[in-house]
Structure formats: structure tokens, C-alpha cells
Chains A and B, each alone.
Chain A
Amino acid sequence: MGMEKFELGPSPPARGRRKKRERLEEMKRELELDDHKLDVKELELKYSTNASTGLSEAAAAERLLRDGRNELRPPRGTPGWARFGRQLAGGLQCLMWVAAVICLTAYGVQRGEGDRGSSDNLYLAVALIAVVVVTGCFGYYQEFKSTNIIASFRNLVPQQATVIRAGQTLQVNAAELVLGDLVEIKGGDRVPADIRILAAQGCKVDNSSLTGESEPQPRSPECSHESHLESRNIAFFSTMCLEGTATGLVISTGDRTVIGRIASLASGVENEKTPIAVEIEHFVDIIAGLAVLFGGTFFVVAMLIGYPLLRAVVFFMAIVVAYVPEGLLATVTVCLSLTAKRLARRNCVVKNLEAVETLGSTSVICSDKTGTLTQNRMTVAHLWFDGQVHTADTTEDQSGESFDQSSPSWALLSQVITLCNRAQFKPGQDSVPVAQRDVIGDASETALLKFAEVTSGPVAAARGRCPKIVELPFNSTNKFQVIMVTGDHPITAKAIAAAVGIISEGSETPEDVAARLRLPLEQVDPRQARARVVTGTELASMAPGTLEELLRTHPEMVFARTSPQQKLVIVESCQRLGAIVAVTGDGVNDSPALKKADIGVAMGIAGSDAAKNAADMILLDDNFASIVTGVEQGRLIFDNLKKSIAYTLTKNIPELTPYLIYITASVPLPLGCITILFIELCTDIFPSVSLAYERAESDIMHLKPRNPRRDRLVNEPLAAYSYFQIGAIQSFAGFTDYFVAMAQEGWWPLLVLGLRPRWEDAHLQDLQDSYGQEWTFAQRRYQQYTCYTVFFISIEMCQIADVLIRKTRRLSLFQQGPFRNRTLVVAIVFQVCIGCFLCYCPGMPNIFNFMPIRFQWWLVPMPFGLLILIYDEIRKLGVRRHPGSWWDRELYY
């Protein structure tokens, strides 16, 4: 939470006796709170403000400096060391700890037996502990960063408050509110501070965040209760205003608000793991379980063959280390956060990372029309009075023809438009043309305001003549005000839907079919129509199940004039049909549906706080196209994660087989544990992350959305293809290179088989090779390190081929462009550089068991890399040519 630490907390943390005294004072202050009982005069006096014009800017700035920002101090979460500790004690980490302890024990026992030669087990123990600590640090850093991202999102979407200062109505950041500020709230807003209501029209608030009761509570200027907590004339910070409007005086800000004092409420903010992380962790656990099972089997086998217990235990541990994909979790986290960042650049703020992936599997988008599809800009186009429709001038510069303005009805209507309207121009725009002025208010009222300003002169003056006495506010249940302009009629809704492509060209509604066939509507089979428009009234009278039936039959549906409950019903019906539903919306009335949806998308500019709160994703620029970007990115990350995981899993086989061959064929060990850890956590991390930058294969938007219950991230073909095919080729590459390196140094393959007991005999200082030369134990050990390095390089070379084939799952590598993903190219180069460094940096043999190997041993695995490339091209060709065939089913992952 780095960013917020810099904010000055209003009350600095204190300890001991000082803290106690402070708390006592705080309690006293609470008792003294009597703002709800004071009348306006007394309040003005107490907060030295003006109840009609508000504070002056200077006074506000001064108070802001004095009291600090109107924000809750971030709760003191779990202390850092505890979170770090948790990182060190995961399932996998525990396994590693056990392994390290086994190593240390082995080392101790060997020391006890007087074997001074081998410190390998000690090094391995140290390396394992280092791995746990390093991955722990990485995880901690990731968690820390994601907390930071969430914190910065909070800043990206600042809460706005409407405040009156020096008589001007302004929009300010809610954090800049100070005591005595005069604020206005309306339906959909979050109450920006604790306020004493001075005037209210049908204002209702949802205090559920404070009291847990979700029943809307009316708010009015009267004091209704002794306790300020119960009194109707106080609205609390962070509660929601559901409907109506109110004007109030800020009586406390930041941590001194009621909600700020309920510390427990604020500290409950825990960073929850996203389901995708859970799925990955679950997967790693399965792998770890398999590893233990596998290791256990070989432990038993080793014991039966006659290895001493200690050796068998070390084998067991080595197999576990080889089989567990240590770098996987890190890769996945990095991939997800990369995508979230990429989305944020395109003005999609993702509140939880997992939502990115969910977006991709979205199969139904329920979009709220207003403000989402349209720009949420409205213009008065037609008027209806005297039983006649009049056309208004819709051109920006009023050059078009106007209607007859002489009718008395028009005079009345114009007055209504002018006065029954809460919208107002932002101050200081007198020189700007009316059509382009910024307005505070919702879209329909803005349209009316501008219309009035143009047709009948300055609105402000007219309003000055007729001050507001009472307001009957607009809400979604008594929508009587502006039907004529919202165009919320089924026909309009259909027209808009057709215009933005929800009803695609060529699709017909039953009404269209009826018109085409010249039949009465009742005789038309609705199944003939692709599209359908359903109104809220129709919906209300439908029998249960009919809606599902309709959703099934018509892929394109438009619902007009629905209530919040009906929106919820629509979402639920879609979900019952097995769809993953994304809902877009901006209003308070959308928030239940947003919450219910698998992924809720709120509009950043037009969206109310309620909608933003309920949503998983926020479109900062209110651009519907961003959702499409989001879906695309979601599908992309799913695809790329799959590729990354496939890449990461592949090398577990060439890491595992050396042990199996070592135990069964008694060859000198081809690959050491420390080397494996270097592959897992050093060289292969970069390419696997770089796959997150891979472009989409073909047009992913044309594919059907995935079914998250069936199309898992890691499926059987993926595991089989990675483990048993590519992994197998890599193992063969490693062993080829191993036998080549051994043979060229004097140990022929047939001698190598069964050589292990003599090779590892520390007392045998003159072991003969195939040419009759005699080797000391240390010389043999360096030869063994050479083998490790050679095997390591083989895996690296094959992994380069692997990362190239993973770029695509279906397309040919050349259709995708082998070098178009620059990050991947850089990652490969970097990987090779690390490989070179490990091999040729002086001192490596004795620290990490890497030897400077001959250049031609780099070349040996390359044909196998080529084989991987060719084989995968053949696989992809088969998959493309014969969709649905046996080949496609078994080999497409």
C-alpha cells in the first residue's frame, strides 16, 4: 500500500498510555456529537459556513490542510513478516523444506560415516532453502504489487462529489471535502462524508454497509431520534444514496466519520486469491502429489534393488524436485498481471485479475443501452404537444428549421423543461457554444437543459425567478418524466440494437416476419425469427421457463423497459442455460445484475458509484469497444496461459528421466538437482512469461466461448502431448548428448551402463575408461558435472524449439511469424546468454556444478530441436486439415 502511506493520517498512530487517552477523548467526542439536533443557524455558526453558498475556496483549502484528506486510512493488514511466512509455508514449499531436511540429514550421516568428499547434499539443501526463500520473496513481491495495483485502481476511479463552494456548484474529488462543505447527493451516489441533511427530496439511503439492513432508509432534514446514528437527518460516509436528492453539510470527514471509527470494518479488507490462482495451485498440488507418488514408487524400487536407505531417500527427493514445476505459479501470476496492465492501458480497469480470464469465456453479453452502447448524449429531436409531433432542430449550430413556437402549450412545456430539471451548466463556460458546454446532470436532463437554453434563453435566469420549493424526484419505478426523449420504446430499442449490431443485418423479429408474410403476429412461428424484442411488461406476464425458452430460440434479444428485478431475472435465466454472462451497466438499477453476472462491467464516466462498486471491471472511457478488447484479451490470456503451462510442463520429463535411468540402468547421474532448479527457476522463466505477449492466433473472436466447466486450462491432451511426446523427444536429446559427451571423453555407452557403483566409489581413484586411462574420483565428478551441463544445454536447446512451437496451437509457426513476438525473441536470446554464463563463468564448476563444455555439445541436441519443430508442424497441419478427426481429438490441446 505504498502510495497511501504518504497520505497524512488525520490521527497519527500512538502507543501505550497516549493511545488510551486518545481513545477516551474520541469517545467523549462521540458523545458530544449533536449536529442532528442543531438547526441551520447553529450549524452555520459551528462550522463557520454558509448553508446556501457553502465555504469559500480559500477556507476549504485551509481546512483540507488542517484536517487532512477525506479518506480512510488504509487498514493495517497482516504484518509483512506474517505474509512472507505464509509464502514460505505453502504445500509445495513444505515439500521443499522436507527435501532440504532430508538432504541435511543425508549430509550429516555421510559426515558421520567419515565421508569428507561429498558436500553435494549440503549444497543441495542450501539450494533448496534458497529456492523456497527466493520464490517466497517473489510471491510476496507479487502480492505486494497486486495490493498496490488495487490501491492504484482506487485512485484511478476517484469518487466525485458535487459540492457548493462560494455559490458555485463544482465537482471535486471526494477526498478533498472538508468540514462545513455544502454537498449535493443524488440517487446512485455514494455519500462522500458524514453529512447533516439540510434539504432532501425523496432521498433514500442504503445503510447496509453500516448496519447490515438493506432496506432503503428515508433521509430528511428533521431530527427524528436522540442518537445521531438513528436520526434521519444524518447520512453516513460510504453509504449509498439509492434515490432522490439531498443537500447537506459535511460534519465529519475521513477517519473521524462513523465508518472510519469502526476499525474492524475497514480492516476486513483481505486480499483474496483469484479462482484462477486457486486452480493453478490446485494443479500444482496434484502435480506435487503425483511427484510424491512417483518418488515413493522409486524409493521402494531403489530399496528393493538394494540401495542403502539414505540413497533411496535422496532419490526420492530428487524425483520430487524434478517433477514439480517450481516456476509455474510465478509464470501464471506474471502473465495475469501483465494482461491486467495491458487492459488498464486501454482504459479497462480490472478489479480482480481472474475477471480477465472470465471475460474470455463470456458467452452472453447483457448490455444496458443507455450510456453503454450510445455515447450517453441525447438531443431533443421531436416534441409532442397539442396532439401533434413537432420536429426540433438537431443541428449543433441551430442552422436547421425550427418548429412553431407560438402555441401556449409550448410555453408551458418550455417552462417545465427549464424548471423541472436538475441539470446545470458547469460555471465559467459562457463563451462556449451551448451544445458543447459541460453539464452536471444526467443525459436526458442535459439534453433538455441545452434545448431550453437554445430555444428560450438563459435557464439560470429563469430558475432564479422561480426558486425550487419541492422536488418530486425521478426514479426508475415512476418513470413518468421523460418517456418521449429516452426512446426507451421497444421500436427505438430495436432500432438502436440494429444500429449497433446487437440485432445483426438480415435477422428478423417475429414482427418483421409477420410484416413480410403479411400474417397476423399470432400466426407467426417465433422460431423463424432470429431476433426478438421483449418489453418489461411482456416479461412480467411471462410464465416461468418461458424466458429460458425465448433465450434458447433467439440468439439476438433485446429487452426494453425492464426493471432492476427483471434485469436480474434475465441474467439468472442466461446462467441457468449454462452461459457465462457479462453485464454492462452504469446506473444504480443495474447494480444487482452487475453483481449477479459472472463478470460485471461498469462505465467509468457515466457509471454511478453503485455500479462501479458492483462491477468486476470498469471501462474508464465508457467505450463499449473496450469490452470487446477485454473479451479478446481474456481469451488471449487463456490461450497464452495454456501455452505457457504447456511449455513449463514439458521440461519436467527430461528432468525426471535422468533419475529413472540412473536408478534402473545404473549410469552415472546425467542431471543434478541444482541444475534442475536452474532450469526451473532461472533460464526457463523468461520464455514462459514471454508467451504472455503472444499475439492471438487467427481471429479468436470468431471462436465459440469456452465452457469453463469442460475446457479446462490444463487438459488431458495438453499434459499427454507435453509429457509423453515433446518431453520424450527432449529426454532423448538429453541422453544423446550425455552419451556423446561421455563417449568423447573416453566412456563408451556400453561401459557406462552399470558403471554407477564403481563411478561413485569415492575410494576408487583409478577407474579405467574405455581406453585404459585411469580416473580419480574428483576427475570423474567433474566429468559428471560436464554431463549435467550437457544435459542442461540439451534441455535448453529443445526448450527453444518448444517455446517456438508453443506460439501456436493450431496455426503453422510461419503463419504466425516466428519472430513477430519480440519479447519472446529477447527471452530466447537472454536464455541462451544465461546458459553461456552458467557454463563459462569461472568458478561455476565448484559453486553450481556447471562446467565449460565444448561447443559441439551445443550442437548435438539441435537436430532434436528441429525434430520438435517439424513434428509439431505436422501435428498442426493434421489438426488444421482434419478437424474432428482422431488426430485432432488426441493431439490438439
Chain B
Amino acid sequence: MSKDTKKPFRQSMAEWRQFIYNPNSGEFLGRTAKSWGLILLFYLVFYGFLAALFTFTMWVMLQTLSSDIPKYRDRISSPGLMISPKPDTALEFYFNRSDSQSYSEYVTTLQNFLESYNDSKQSQNIECTPGKIFDQSDAAVKKACRFNISDLGQCSGKEDANFGYSKGTPCVLVKMNRVIGLKPEGEPHIQCTPKEEGVVNINYFPPNGAMDLMYFPYYGKSLHAHYLQPLVAVQLAITPNGTKEEIAIECKILGSPNLKNQDDRDKFLGRIAFKVLMSE
């Protein structure tokens, strides 16, 4: 219940200065050098111990982890879809079919992306039985299935080095995110639908946009180093009606009951939407 007495400003300033350095007792911020030394030493030991404990716990935890398979896959029960090329900002393609500069970036991205699908890179990959899950859980060395780039037809880059961008038939590759152990059921295939009818005709490579089951499951990057995920090329043949306006397209994975494509919260789970604006 001490009565508050306002101290004059100068006095409180003097007290502060006294607190910061007190020449009489040699105290700096309320402690002498020895006191500071002791307390800092204490904290050094204290935090040293905690850090050691933390490091040890982390080490023990990492020992319990397999380097092949993650312990849990709680958040990725169903894979997302992604496209290539992926424009920098949003998923919006803007290009002029007569200006090669405007789509060169897409073309380079596609070329780079398909690099790993080159036959020369796939020499170790084996031919698998189409239409069947390729289960190799017993095998020590997991083999990767060959994905023939020629299956992508006009979008393979072999026939048209510009992937159709110069012809008004741009190609977009749709891929499904890799998830370890995922075994799709049924006959998964990609289907894309434009928002407006009649502005674009869509071709799929391989036919029907099918994703063959033989590419599943994935065994993780250390066991399955050469794994290549199946691709579906979507060729958008833009009709004269469709130029000069944005075409909104949504692609979904269909035909497989265990691949979600309708999640409210995740707009990329089993589906992807993008826009194309082509000018001439």
C-alpha cells in the first residue's frame, strides 16, 4: 500500500544510469563482472545440456526411421495432379502461336521434363505387363517400368519439337503426384473438360488419357531410384472460336474409386484447373 510518489525525471534518469553502470560497485546492468560470468556459465552449461539432449533425441528418432519408407502417410492418402509446363505465377498459359519467343519457355520446360524419359535414360527399365499392378514388395531391388515417350504421340516432342504451340495445338503434360505404396484401383484415366463448349478439341496421349496400373506402386526414391511416373499428354486443339479468349480447362482423374477428385479443401487432389489464352 505504498503511496505512489512521482519521482522527478532527472532522478529516474540517474537511477537508470546507475542501473546500467554503477561505478561504485562495478555493477553493469545490476550485476558485477563475476556475477555475470557465473550466470552466463550456468546458462552455457544449461543450454549445452539441452542442446545435447535435443541432438541425442533427434539422432535416436532418425535411427528409428527407415530411409526407404516413411513411417506414416497420414496426409497423402490420395495424390494430387500437376501439369507441365507450369507457368511461373498462376496456372495460366499466355502465348502467341506466331511468336516463338512467347512460348519458348514452355517448350524448354517440356523438353527438360521429358529428358528423363529419353530411351537412353531408360535402358535399365524393364517392360512390364500392362493393366496390372506391378507388385515387387518381395524383391530387394525394385525395377522401374519403361514409359515409352512415343506413347505421347504428337506431344512427345519427337514429331513436333514445339509441342504444338506453333500450330495452335499446345500440349500440356498431366502427371500424378508420387505417393509411396499407392495402388490405384479400376482403370484410372485423365479427362479434361473446357468450361465452354466448342472452343477447344482435346486429344489424349496415350489414348483415353489412360494411366497404366503397371507403373504403380511407387517404392520411394531410395529403393526406386529410376522410377518414372506415367504421363498423360493433353493436346488442346484450339478452334478459331477459342482464340483471343481465355479457355478454362479442368482435368480430373477418373475411373478409380480410391483416387479422390472432389475434395472441397484441396483443389489439386486428383484434379487440376488451368487457363489458356492463345493469340495469333
Of the stretches A149-157, A522-530, A776-784, the one at the interface is: A776-784
With a cutoff of 8 Å between Cβ atoms, the chain B residues found around residue A708 in the complex are 1-2
Q: Which residue of A lies closest to B81 (CB)?
A: A765
Q: How many residues of B contact A (CB 8 A)?
A: 51
The yes or no answer to B79 lying at the interface (CB within 8 A) is yes
* A598 nearest CB neighbor, chain B only: B1
Q: Count of A-B contacts with CB under 8 A?
A: 132
How far, in Å, is B94 (CB) from chain A's closest CB? 15
B20 interfacial by beta-carbon distance below 8 Å: no
Question: Is B70 a contact of A746 with CB atoms below 8 Å?
Answer: yes
Interfacial residues of chain A within 743-770, with CB under 8 A of chain B in the complex: 743-746, 748-749, 763, 765-766, 768-770
Closest to A863 in B: B57
A854 within 8 A of B: yes
Q: How far is the CB of B191 from chain A (nearest CB, A)?
A: 19
Answer whether A773 and B180 are a contact pair too, CB < 8 Å, given A732-B53, A745-B75, A765-B268.
Answer: yes
CA distance A546 to B221 in the complex (A): 91
B80 at the A/B interface (Cβ < 8 Å)? yes
Tell me if B76 is interfacial: C-beta within 8 Å of chain A: yes
Within 8 A of B (CB), among A692-729: 708-709, 724-725, 728-729
Q: Which of B74, B178, B218 has the most CB of A within 10 A?
A: B74
Query: What CA separation (Å) do A766 and B84 show in the bound complex?
Result: 11
B19 at interface (Cβ–Cβ under 8 A)?
Answer: no
Contact A114–B265 (Cβ < 8 Å): no
- Map CB proximity to B onto A471-504 as digits: 1 under 8 Å, 0 otherwise: 0000000000000000000000000000000000
How distant is A553 from chain B, measured CB to nearest CB, in Å? 26
List CB contacts (< 8 Å) of B85-108 with chain A. Answer: 86, 89-91
Q: Within 8 Å CB of B180, what residues of A?
A: 771-773
A736 within 8 A of B: yes
Task: Mark each residue of chain A from 782 to 812: 1 if its CB lies under 8 Å from any CB of chain B, else 0.
Answer: 1100100000000000000000000000000
**Would you call B76 and A779 a contact (CB within 8 A)?**
yes
A237 an interface residue at 8 Å Cβ cutoff? no
Given A732-B53, A766-B82, answer yes or no on A358-B75 (Cβ-Cβ < 8 Å). no
A403 at the interface (CB under 8 A from B): no
Cα separation A358 to B175 with both chains bound (whole Å):
73
B54 adjacent to A744 (CB under 8 Å)? no
- Chain B nearest Cβ from A361, distance in angstroms: 9
Q: How far, in angstroms, from A358 to B1 measured CA to CA in the complex?
A: 7
A735 contacts the other chain (Cβ, under 8 Å)?
A: yes
- B266 near A778 (CB under 8 angstroms)? yes
| Other-chain contact of A749, B43, B58, B68, B220 (Cβ < 8 Å) | B58
B179 touches A748 (CB 8 A): no
Whether B75 contacts A763 by the Cβ 8 Å rule is: no
Of residues 14 through 54 on chain B, the ones whose CB sits less than 8 Å from some CB of chain A are 38-39, 42-43, 46-47, 50, 53-54
Q: Which of B68, B75, B222 has the most CB of A within 10 A?
A: B75
Q: In chain A, what residue has the closest Cβ to B270? A: A776
User: Smallest Cβ distance from B210 to chain A, in angstroms?
Assistant: 21
The reply to whether A779 and B75 contact each other, CB–CB distance below 8 Å, is: yes
> With a CB–CB cut-off of 8 A, which chain A residues contact B62?
743, 748-749
Provided the pairs A774-B177, A775-B80, A776-B177 are in contact, do residues A744 and B91 lie with their beta carbons within 8 angstroms?
Answer: no
CB distance from B256 to the nearest CB of A (A): 17
Q: Are B73 and A745 in contact (CB under 8 A)?
A: yes
- Contact of A385 with B by CB under 8 A: no
Complex Cα distance A598/B3, Å? Answer: 10
**Given that A745-B70, A746-B70 are contacting pairs, would A774 and B42 also be in contact in the complex, using a CB cutoff of 8 Å?**
no
Least distance between B69 CB and chain A CB atoms (Å): 7
B71 within 8 A of A: yes
A745–B72 Cα distance when bound, in Å, is: 5
A739 CB-CB contact with B under 8 Å: yes
Contact A744 B268 (CB under 8 A): no
In the complex, which residues of chain A have a beta carbon less than 8 angstroms from the beta carbon of B158?
Answer: none
Which of B218, B227, B265 touches A846 (beta carbons < 8 Å)?
Answer: B265
Within 8 A of B (CB), among A134-171: none
Band of interface residues on A: 35 or more
User: Given known contacts A708-B2, A778-B268, A782-B75, is B50 in contact with A732 (CB within 8 Å)?
Assistant: yes
Name the CB-closest residue of A to B91.
A763
CA distance A776 to B176 in the complex (A): 11
B266 neighbours in A (Cβ, 8 Å): 776-779
A884 within 8 A of B: no
Residues of A within 8 A of B224 (CB): 772
B2 CB contacts on chain A under 8 angstroms: 708-709
In the complex, residue of chain B having the shortest beta-carbon distance to the beta carbon of A887: B42
A735, B61: Cα distance in complex, Å: 13
B267 CB-CB contact with A under 8 Å: yes
Cross-chain contact A728 with B61 (CB below 8 angstroms)? no
* Chain B residues, Cβ within 8 Å of A763: 86, 89-91
B65 within 8 A of A: yes
Kindly state whether residue A560 has any CB partner on chain B within 8 Å: no
Q: Are the CB atoms of A771 and B75 closer together than 8 Å?
A: no
Q: Which residues of B contact A766 (CB under 8 A)?
A: 80, 82, 175, 177
Q: Which residues of A contact B227 (CB under 8 A)?
A: 772
Q: Is B269 an interface residue (CB 8 A)?
A: yes
Q: How far is the CB of A865 from chain B (nearest CB, A)?
A: 13
- Inter-chain contact B75/A775, CB cutoff 8 Å: yes
Interchain CA distance A779-B263 in the complex, whole Å: 11
Taking a contact as CB atoms under 8 Å apart, the answer to whether B90 and A773 are in contact is no
Residue of chain A at shortest CB distance from B42: A890
| 5 closest residue pairs by CB, A with B | A772-B221, A776-B80, A778-B266, A774-B177, A746-B70
B-side residues, CB < 8 A to A, are 1-2, 38-39, 42-43, 46-47, 50, 53-54, 57-58, 61-62, 65, 68-76, 79-82, 86, 89-91, 175, 177-180, 218, 220-222, 224, 227, 263, 265-269, 272
Chain A interface residues (CB < 8 Å from chain B): 114, 275, 354, 358, 580, 598-599, 708-709, 724-725, 728-729, 732, 735-736, 739-740, 743-746, 748-749, 763, 765-766, 768-780, 782-783, 786, 846, 854, 863, 867, 886, 890
9 A-B pairs in the complex with CB atoms less than 8 angstroms apart: A739-B61, A745-B73, A746-B72, A766-B82, A771-B70, A773-B220, A778-B263, A780-B75, A846-B265
